[in-house]
Amino acid sequence: QAREQAERLRDEIRRHNYRYYVLDDPEIPDSEYDLLIEALKDLEAAHPDLATPDSPTQRVGAEPRPDFAQVRHRLPMISLDNAMSDVELAEFHRRIATGLGLSRESAAGVPYTAEPKLDGLAVSIRYEDGSLVQAATRGDGTTGEDITQNVRTIPSVPLRLLGSDWPAVLEVRGEVYMTHLGFERLNAEAAARGDKTFANPRNAAAGSLRQLDPRITATRPLAFCCYGWGELSLDPGESQLAMLKRIADWRVPVSRELKRVLGLAGCQGYFQDLGARRDGLGYDIDGVVFKLDRISDQVALGATAHHPRWAIARKFPAQEALTTVESVEFQVGRTGAVTPVARLKPVHVGGVTVSNATLHNMDEVERKDVRIGDTVYVRRAGDVIPEIVRVLPERRPADARPVALPAQCPVCGSDVIRPAGEAVARCSGGLYCPAQRKEEIRHFASRKAMDIEGLGEKLIDQLVDLGLLREPADIYRLTQEQLAGLERMGEKSAANLIEARERSKETSFARFIYALGIREVGEATAAALAARFDGIESLMAAREPDFVRTRGLRGVGPKAAQSVLAWLEEHRDARPEGTDPADLGEWLASLRIPGVSRPAALALGQAFRAVDELRGAEPADLYANTTSLVEGVGPVVAAHIAGFFAQAHNREAIARLIESGIRWPAHSAAAPSVRPLAGKTFVITGTLSRPRDAIKAQLESLGAKVTGSVSKNTHYLLAGEEAGSKLETARTLGVPVIGELELAALISGAPTGS
């Protein structure tokens, strides 16, 4: 009974595997599939005699091996002849017709099978009595390597054939490959771990298949597609297509694109069609393979030592070629992104001449280490802009020059800003830069910004192209006459637009800030800025430290800070010999506290005069960290905002906007000029409702000083739950202790009660 149950479970799991990995059409959710696997595993564990090597639970089991054993192919694995052009394909067809003694007319009707030429690795997989017993690489065609344990891990390869009408011996031959999705996932995972990535799916498939440890292969998204057979204890019948269909019925995957076509015209049509769909297939192919479909025709023509006379690979033009980088120029996109573009020595790739390749951004330039003068591989995929795949460092000339990001926008001359850690550099010329003009104006007029109804994309394009709009302020100079003269614009709509424009002048500060189109400043950030600054002048005058405060010591990370404090806490009596403050850093370094580098120790030593001062410090005062003073504004956004307002022409463009009559209700935000806590010193302790950093930033923005330890100079101790020694010290010294409610009262100016 257990045996029957195990077989039933295995059949069901195999069917789901096939639907999932081959048909791409799962019938049940993953969770249910997992339950089936668990049930089978339990059953096999309870009855070890039932576990068979072709059970779906047995895909990974083998130990890593020192090397691959050699396998002699019982029938050689020969290669294919290539046709690089229509002419060569026609010659192949003519040879076939001559060889088979066909008339012109019957040659036109000779059946071929047609299928993609997959770009992977050829393997031969041997089944005996329906079970997978061996798999081998092609090797030199006569002898390959035993990769049985690795091939067993490929989910679409059946460990056991379906049904019972298979021959006692069946060798299927086909290609192991990786889909684009699998390849991207694998590379993303490798990149996240900081590992090397693969250059293309073929390399990834090859590297994954030739792993001595099958457990590694099992984690790689490999797939298999059968296109033929080797040893076969069965008459294959009359037709290549029919035999492949039988193989597919045993659940060995064959190509979905496999078809029968007639004569040269049929081959050419298939080649055209697949070529057009190539980029959407989801896997790399480098051509199409045509084979005479009648097995009797194949036998009649035979093979040379290298390839069958009855088959040919019609290859697509190469997608990759070698050339040199002559220069790198920078283009400015409509959103201000400054993109490096390589100017190449013209080269033929995939049927066209390529002389430019995008480098995407400076990260990419640095990662690929592209320099001017380098020899590079360029790749062209479909309509996609050609790109540089990799550099050949061995061909780098001595005078190769590194690529430098320009300091100024090549279009408008504004500063180019690339915040630390960002891949993309941007022109800060926003309102002024012609490259960004249409996009800026469109954003300015949009509903959530100035909300100028009727001023849409098409109209903006027209107005910019006519030279009537160069900057947002020009909108307020447009006349009804100018508008009425435009394409698809009547008197009425011109009048409506002018009216909408006039209405837009009455706005809010937040909308106006948002309308400026500062990089990374969305509605929420614009509102936060509007609440924080009392007007456009103070916002324009603000610099990075007005948005984010950077604290702590350069070169000291949070781990090092924690480790030092923990060590000092544990060794309360430890202190350096002598009293020279210069010794503190050296002493800290000599302690060799795990996680604390020598530079970090020295930086700490420099910042503190005595070890007890360091003992009393907050970790956040030690390590480099930033706190934002405006909600949603971190270091990157702060760099964009400050960079934007630092440009004189942006400030001038804003002044022209204000002159045109834009206004909003004045308000007094918690402006930097309002500093109710000026001159007061605070210490914060215990657990509070907000992060300590945020409270500290708020207190500081109101003029207070926040220190790490309580002394008689402390004005207030802000104490939360579980306050400890600081609370005691404050009580001893008579320092007022307040809670969050009292702090709120203090800020709003009410008496505190304590």
Catalytic site positions: 117
Question: Which residues lie across from 685 on neighbouring strands?
Answer: 719
- How many residues touch ligand IVH under the rule CB under 6 A: the total is 15
Largest pairwise CA distance in the chain: 113
Q: Minimum distance from CB of 14 to ligand IVH (Å)?
A: 25
Q: Which two tokens stand for residue 226?
A: 């059968």
Among 97, 125, 226, 313, binds ligand IVH (CB under 6 A): 313
User: To the nearest 10°, the Cα dihedral for 666, 671, 677, 678?
Assistant: -120
C-beta of 470: minimal distance to ligand IVH in Å? 57
Output DSSP code: residue 19: I
Comparing CB distances to ligand IVH, the nearer of 118 and 441 is 118
Q: How far is the CB of 468 from ligand IVH (least distance, A)?
A: 59
Q: How far is the CB of 281 from ligand IVH (least distance, A)?
A: 13
CB of 319 to ligand IVH, least distance (A): 16
The residue from 13, 22, 114, 115 that contacts ligand IVH (CB under 6 A) is 115
- Reference 154, options 200, 197, 94, 214; nearest CA is 214
Q: Both tokens of residue 683?
A: 């210490």
β-strand partners of 222: 178
How many Cα atoms within 13 Å fall on the side-chain side of residue 516? 34
Other Cβ atoms closer than 10 A to 570: 8
CA atoms within 13 A on the CB side of 731: 7
Residues 468-507 that bind ligand IVH (CB under 6 A): none
Nearer to ligand IVH, 207 or 739 (CB): 207
**Overall size of the chain counted in residues:** 754
Judged by beta carbon, residue 264 or residue 313, the one nearer ligand IVH is 313
CB 116, min distance to ligand IVH, A = 6
> What is the Cα–Cα distance from 244 to 253, expressed in whole angstroms?
9
Q: Measured from the CB atom, is 84 or 531 closer to ligand IVH?
A: 84
Q: Shortest distance, CB of residue 138 to ligand IVH, whole angstroms?
A: 6
Smallest distance, ligand IVH to C-beta of residue 113, A? 9
CA distance 586 to 599: 10
Contacting ligand IVH within 52-81 (CB under 6 A): 78-80
| 43 contacts ligand IVH (rule: CB under 6 A) | no
Judged by CB under 6 A, which of 33, 112, 166, 227 binds ligand IVH?
227
Q: Phi-psi bin for 413: left (phi > 0), alpha (psi -120 to 50), beta? A: left
Please list, in sequence order, all residues whose beta carbon lies within 8 angstroms of the beta carbon of residue 45, skipping any fewer than 6 positions away: none
- Cα 703 to Cα 282: distance, rounded to the nearest angstrom: 60
Helix 263-277 × helix 86-100 angle, to 10°:
150
| Residue from 9, 83, 118, 589 binding ligand IVH (CB under 6 A) | 118
Minimum distance from residue 72 beta carbon to ligand IVH (Å) = 17
388-447: which residues touch ligand IVH (CB under 6 A)? none
Query: Which CB sits closer to ligand IVH, 244 or 372?
Result: 244
Computed on alpha carbons and rounded to an integer, the radius of gyration of the chain in Å comes to 36
Q: Does the protein bind ligand IVH through residue 117 (CB under 6 A)?
A: yes
Interface segment toward ligand IVH; rule CB under 6 A; list 113-121, 366-374, 419-427, 444-452? 113-121
Q: Of residues 292-311, which lie at the interface with ligand IVH (CB under 6 A)?
A: 308, 311
> By C-beta, is 118 or 641 nearer to ligand IVH?
118
Q: Indicate the burial class of 163 (C-beta count within 10 angstroms; 0-12, 13-18, 19 or more).
A: exposed
Strand ordering across the sheet containing 169-178: 131-137, 121-128, 169-178, 222-232
Q: 286 or 453, CB closer to ligand IVH?
A: 286
The answer to whether residue 125 forms part of the interface with ligand IVH (CB under 6 A) is: no
Rounded distance, CA 306 to CA 140, Å? 11
Which of 283, 623 has the CB closer to ligand IVH?
Answer: 283
| Residue 248 found at the interface with ligand IVH (CB under 6 A) | no
Only one residue has tokens 């066209």, namely 352
By CB neighbour count within 10 A (0-12 exposed, 13-18 middle, 19+ buried), where does 186 fall? Answer: buried
The site string for ligand IVH over 80-99 (x = CB under 6 A, - otherwise) reads x-------------------
Q: What angle do CA 682, 686, 689 make, to 5 degrees?
A: 90
Residue 723: both structure tokens together: 């306050």
State the residue number with the nearest CB to ligand IVH. 122
Residues 148-207 touching ligand IVH, rule: CB under 6 A, are 175
Residue in the block written with tokens 């435009």: 486
Q: How far is the CB of 312 from ligand IVH (least distance, A)?
A: 10
Q: Which residues, listed in sequence order, are joined to residue 377 by a DSSP beta bridge? A: 322, 390
Stretch that binds ligand IVH, among 42-50, 115-123, 516-524, 555-563 (CB under 6 A): 115-123
> What is the dihedral angle through the alpha carbons of 380, 381, 386, 387, rounded to the nearest 10 degrees?
-90
From the list 22, 278, 343, 317, the residue with the least C-alpha distance to 154 is: 22
Give the range of 35-43, 65-73, 111-119, 632-640 binding ligand IVH by CB under 6 A.
Answer: 111-119
How many Å apart are CA 483 and CA 159, to the nearest integer? 73
288 and 313 Cβ atoms separated by less than 8 Å = yes
Tokens 């003068």 -> residue: 373
Q: Does 593 bind ligand IVH (CB under 6 A)?
A: no
Closest CB to ligand IVH among residues 166, 229:
229
Footprint (CB under 6 A) of ligand IVH, residues 670-729: none
Closer to ligand IVH by Cβ: residue 138 or 371:
138
Site string for ligand IVH, 537-576 (x = CB under 6 A): ----------------------------------------
Point out which residues bind ligand IVH (CB under 6 A): 78-80, 115, 117-118, 122, 138, 175, 227-228, 289, 308, 311, 313
